[in-house]
Structure 1
Amino acid sequence: MINENGSLSIHSENIFPIIKKWLYSDHDIFVRELISNACDAITKLKKLDIMGEYTIPDNTHFKVEVKLNENNKTIQIIDNGLGMTADEIKQYINQIAFSGAEDFLNKYKDKANQEQIIGHFGLGFYSAFMVADTVTIDTLSYVDGATPVKWECDGGTEFTLSEGTRTERGTTITLHIGDEGKEFLREYPLKSTIEKYCSFMPYDIFFINENEEETKKETDTKEETEEPQPLNDTNPLWLKHPNDCTEEEYKAFYRKVFMDFKEPLFWIHLNMDYPFNLKGILFFPKINNEYENMEGRIKLFNNQVFVADNIKEVIPEFLLLLKGVIDCPDLPLNVSRSFLQNDGFVRKISDYITKKVADKLTGLYKTENESFIKYWDDIHPFVKFGSLKDDKFYSKVKDILIYKSIYGEYISIKDYIEKNKEKNKDKVFYVTDEQQQSQYIELFKQNEMDAIILSHSIDQPFISHIESQEKDVKFARIDSDLSDSLKEDSNEEELKPATETLENLFRKALANENLKVKVESLKNIDLSSMIILSEESRRMQEMSKMYGFAGLGGNMPSDETLVLNKKNSLVQYLLDNNTNETKLEDITMICEQLYDLALLSHKPLQPEAMTKFIKRSNALLSRLAL
């Protein structure tokens, strides 16, 4: 007959209040800890069966039940695992921070492998006190002739241990929920938490709302009810061999886990047993236009137990743009299983994942090039982000980086330079806004020149990174300079008088003494004016805006140059009539209009300038209509 009172053996002074209040950052973690403990109890019993120390009865259905009773303010977690004796309760429950799983492994380390034993620390059970005022354990050990045991504690350091009434092997943990856990007395939050943490645990988990069951009995409801369904999938896709998984299974898994009904582009199935155990699936989703807003989710598991989303110590930062699951039983977890020790082992896992992703991309490029090109518009921000964040990743993928040209083709930088060497002199011209820079694109096409499209916000830091890594590559935006291929052969000295005349004319008309003007003889006679801004100046302006350096950005003098085409009739008109006082009004309007037209092809006009441009355009059209 058991009848005992005692004090919990606490290994550190005043640790219990810390455990109760601050052991975990999220109070819902008690669901994971108690259900994973229940799964552990089943796993241990199955291992004892394998080792011949116990025989599991035929037709045993191993399961975990979670029972909610809102009226009684209780939550119960029930398993049919190996149970505990009074001595084991004293050892595993009363001695806080003594790990039952760890002790079990030490005892049987020569008889069974260590897979699938979840618990590594003895504090998980005490997460119950974050939401419960009182916790009761009713348990019966698998050992022949064992006496059922009841343990109860009200959250202090005192407990009671007595003989219990349980008649079947296993354990029932009853939480008498207090004010801090009252939200879990509702079905939806509790079931949602179970699904969050326990969706892939290795044994069926059933949810029972006892108040609903009582209501049915009271109303004598005789309607047929469906067979109860577990809340979890005990054999998740990532545990299967890739050869045994179909395309539809991958897509269905993706939809179910991430609630994303846009199909993933492709995926990588990770399956490694040595030098560490790691399995998982990484999906490449269709991603947003701006990489800052891309929000992937890598769910980290330990033996099918959910640990956390997006653990940066394990998963390289750039891979957090993906969606996927990674299950690694070998990861060193801390007491809460929510943070990882940043040690060499973890870095090896991170390096392995990075290598597998790089290998997948290079494999696609080499063996399924059409598919790779089809995916590129969606995956290029991810690949570029990875190249910026991880030099090893960049070294593996640099030869598969491709760029869309203004002709709609995809080309590497190496091929672009080789193809355009004569006209570009080793410069890589690029476009950031196809609509805004359409005039420059058309000019390039007319002269059979090419440029690549770099319209994503990640492209600016990315090209700077490329230039730092590849010394022979220099990027220049399409409006940063005039290639000799766009000009007629002309002597710069011959154009100097025209440049001086028009610069003075435009400065006066626009009331801008700092305006820079350059006259060129362009091949395209219809092009009257355009703006160029040196690549260095533009990058400096963009950088200062990005980082908010007022001294560099807003106060930085503009380095834009207005280029006027001497072959154009409007420009020639200005040269012919610049001293004609009777046409001063017309000349001023034409100067303003040519400048605004050039600016419009370079960047958006400010609201006030746009209003003047529209008013002036109407005035010019009215004159033509007279």
Structure 2
Amino acid sequence: MPTETFEFQVEARQLLQLMIHSVYSNKDVFLRELVSNASDALDKLRLAALRDDTPDVDVTDLHIELDVDKEARTLTVRDNGIGMSYDEVTHLIGTIANSGTAKFLEELREAKDAAGADGLIGQFGVGFYSGFMVADEVTLVTRRAGETQGTRWTSRGEGTYTLETVDDAPQGTSVTLHLKPADAENQLHDYTSEWKIKEIVKRYSDFITWPIRLLPEPAEDGAEAREAETLNSMKALWARPRDEVSDDEYHELYKHISHDWREPLETIRLQAEGTFEYQALLFVPSHAPHDLFTQGYQRGVQLYVKRVFIMDDCEELLSPYLRFVKGVVDAQDLSLNVSREILQQDRHIRMIQRRLTKKVLATVKDLMTSAPDRYATFWREFGAVLKEGLVTDSENRDAILAACSFASTHDADEPTTLKSYVERMKDGQDDIYFMTGESRQAIEDSPHMEAFRAKGVEVLLLTDAVDEVWVDAVGEYEGKPLRSVAKGEIDLGGTEDEKSEAEKDAQSEEYAGLLGWMTEHLGEDVKEVRLSSRLTVSPACVVSDANELTPALENMYRAMGQEVPHAKRILELNPEHQLVKSLNRAHTGQQDRAELTEAAELLYALAVLGEGGRPKEPARFVKLVADRLERTL
């Protein structure tokens, strides 16, 4: 096939320009990226060989080579791993056609400084292009294991790339960087220097399980040829004693397996001995990935068996609500050709999952007291996803609750645990009160909060989408029911000016006619109109019945494609508000029923607006308000 020239797509050109005119303060990361890609290719070939997916492929000496040519100013990173076909090169290298590119560019532009930009490389699968930070031209030659024909990809990063097939390509992939001149602007290091190559590999890639070999320079005439030098120790960090591994080494392993080049928030080690042995090294990230809540998010940790890599993203080892955790599990008693189907049924895997889950939850809970700042970071980034476990994992529900904290009216800055909330409950208070909403401000401004604020009763302020679900699934904490302030009837009591039962009965009788008439005329929208004990300032509010779904939960189920019947809600009136008193007098006095009906509609619409909803007929609502204003001005 002749050489063909293609144009990069728009986003790819933008990405390459960012790399060429690099905003990264540390250009050394290009070598880390290429070595990491080579390591992944070797892992994939070993796995394919174990499963007989690539017959007649030699896997006896899998390795990575670094080859420097000082005269030509080239650096080649070569592996004899799985390689790529022509179509794979086109898809994976030629077009950068992945959904993360746009997000990468967006976050790169938003990075406040060069250090922030450094943290983004690799996170979106674009690490290959970091080679353009140090090279004027990049050439990739690859042949997929089991195929006979290879592919060459070449680009100067100027908007085009070339593709051609080659017949003499060895198995695997080689990436050759035609390095920029050593004295070029911002070119701080000479990457043809042997000591520099060794320093980068030792710092970033010492734990790689495959040998990284630096090929010697050609021997001069008469000189004895040198052997290739292995630069990395290839020691599995999870198998080494804790006091022999530095935090920096752990952090580099995390960056390698997670493609997040920030340091992790927490490192968790676990070693199980006995009838079933395994080792685990887990990491809690310091930042949530951009796609954590998308359906295609790749979750799970790496699975090894007897130090042999088996698979990435082993979902069976951690529950979905812990999908943010990265790491490695090395089991001693599993088969090397274990499949995902086998894992789903394996009792040992279920044992590991239970143990890892308990360990992660215990670690998060310990952070509350041992490192409050780190816990605050964790909760900000991962609190919403952890709370999913309150719905899906009843076995560990108590442990999850113990690791959770919630915004509260008790303190505007410090969240609270349920345990602390219960300790602060007022005498005679039986329920743990909460309210869900889009934001703290929206909840605090809600009419439903008025009586609680007036009487100093603490309310949990829940603003994540999952909060609508888990409160019903959990139901209670230490025997105290979880109670929404926007559902059912509320009777807080406990104040000096509290009405007597006789006064309440008299008031109910006074308003009985208005309540019955409004229930009839608003019957399409509400199931009942009644007097409220939760309002102190606003004239009205709408509430859900104690056992009904909230509007937000209805919308959530519909968004997931589930049909749920629309539940009529309850309109509550504040009998102490002048507007409600006037409405009652107008009804008792047989005032014009058409005008009274409009007033009732307006009051209901105002109540809907007060909780952040939308009137059923916005245009009619606007007209009614305009007409009323016209008559009063």
Structure-1-length-normalised TM-score = 0.58
2:540 to 529, 535, 538: 529
1:479 to 465, 486, 493: 486
SS in 2 for 1:474: strand
Aligned residue in 2 for 1:100: none
Deviation at 1:452, TM superposition (A): 0.8
Partners in 1 of 2:399 and 2:545 — Cα distance? 32
Alpha-carbon distance change, 322 to 231 in structure 1, aligned in 2, over 3 angstroms? farther
1:538 partnered with 2:549? yes
What are the residue-to-residue correspondences of 1:33-432 with 2, within 5 Å? 33=48, 66=80, 131-132=146-147, 202-205=209-212, 234-235=234-235, 237-261=237-261, 263-272=263-272, 276-287=277-288, 292-293=293-294, 295=297, 296-334=299-337, 340=343, 342-369=345-372, 371-406=374-409, 407-408=411-412, 409-422=414-427, 424-432=429-437
Aligned residue in 1 for 2:464: 456
Alpha-carbon distance change, 282 to 375 in structure 1, aligned in 2, over 3 angstroms? closer
Aligned residue in 2 for 1:218: none
Deviation at 1:550, TM superposition (A): 10
Alpha-carbon distance change, 533 to 291 in structure 1, aligned in 2, over 3 angstroms? farther
Partners in 2 of 1:585 and 1:322 — Cα distance? 62
Alpha-carbon distance change, 201 to 412 in structure 1, aligned in 2, over 3 angstroms? closer
Letter in 2 for 1:476: R
Partners in 1 of 2:328 and 2:589 — Cα distance? 76
Q: What do the CA deviations read for 1:521-568 (whole angstroms, capped 9, x no partner)?
A: 6672x32111121231126994796279999723x541x211111111
Aligned residue in 1 for 2:604: 595
Alpha-carbon distance change, 246 to 382 in structure 1, aligned in 2, over 3 angstroms? farther
Alpha-carbon distance change, 422 to 621 in structure 1, aligned in 2, over 3 angstroms? farther
Alpha-carbon distance change, 573 to 425 in structure 1, aligned in 2, over 3 angstroms? same
Deviation at 1:27, TM superposition (A): 13
The question of whether the paired residues in 1 share the 8 Å contact of 2:486 and 2:544 is answered with yes
The question of whether the paired residues in 1 share the 8 Å contact of 2:532 and 2:575 is answered with yes
1:569 to 569, 574, 578: 578
Partners in 1 of 2:360 and 2:248 — Cα distance? 21
Alpha-carbon distance change, 200 to 306 in structure 1, aligned in 2, over 3 angstroms? farther
Partners in 2 of 1:229 and 1:593 — Cα distance? 82
1:496 to 495, 508, 520: 508
Deviation at 1:573, TM superposition (A): 1.0
| Unaligned 5+ runs, structure 2 | 1-40, 52-56, 64-76, 86-142, 150-164, 177-204, 216-226
Deviation at 1:478, TM superposition (A): 1.8
Letter in 2 for 1:532: V
Deviation at 1:187, TM superposition (A): 5.1
Letter in 2 for 1:492: K
Partners in 2 of 1:253 and 1:362 — Cα distance? 24
Letter in 1 for 2:258: F
Partners in 2 of 1:70 and 1:471 — Cα distance? 57
Query: Which stretch of the first structure deviates more once superposed, 30-39 or 458-467?
Result: 30-39
Partners in 1 of 2:602 and 2:472 — Cα distance? 35
The question of whether the paired residues in 2 share the 8 Å contact of 1:533 and 1:561 is answered with yes
Question: Root-mean-square deviation (CA), in Å?
Answer: 5.0
Q: What do the CA deviations read for 1:265-312 (whole angstroms, capped 9, x no partner)?
A: 323133456551414232244337997438444222345543223323
1:617 partnered with 2:625? yes
The question of whether the paired residues in 2 share the 8 Å contact of 1:507 and 1:514 is answered with yes
Letter in 2 for 1:417: V
Structure-2-length-normalised TM-score = 0.58
2:613 to 604, 608, 614: 604
Deviation at 1:569, TM superposition (A): 0.9
Aligned residue in 1 for 2:179: none
Partners in 2 of 1:610 and 1:290 — Cα distance? 36
Partners in 2 of 1:514 and 1:351 — Cα distance? 47
Aligned residue in 1 for 2:88: none
Alpha-carbon distance change, 293 to 182 in structure 1, aligned in 2, over 3 angstroms? farther
Aligned residue in 2 for 1:517: 529
Partners in 1 of 2:561 and 2:82 — Cα distance? 60
Deviation at 1:604, TM superposition (A): 1.8
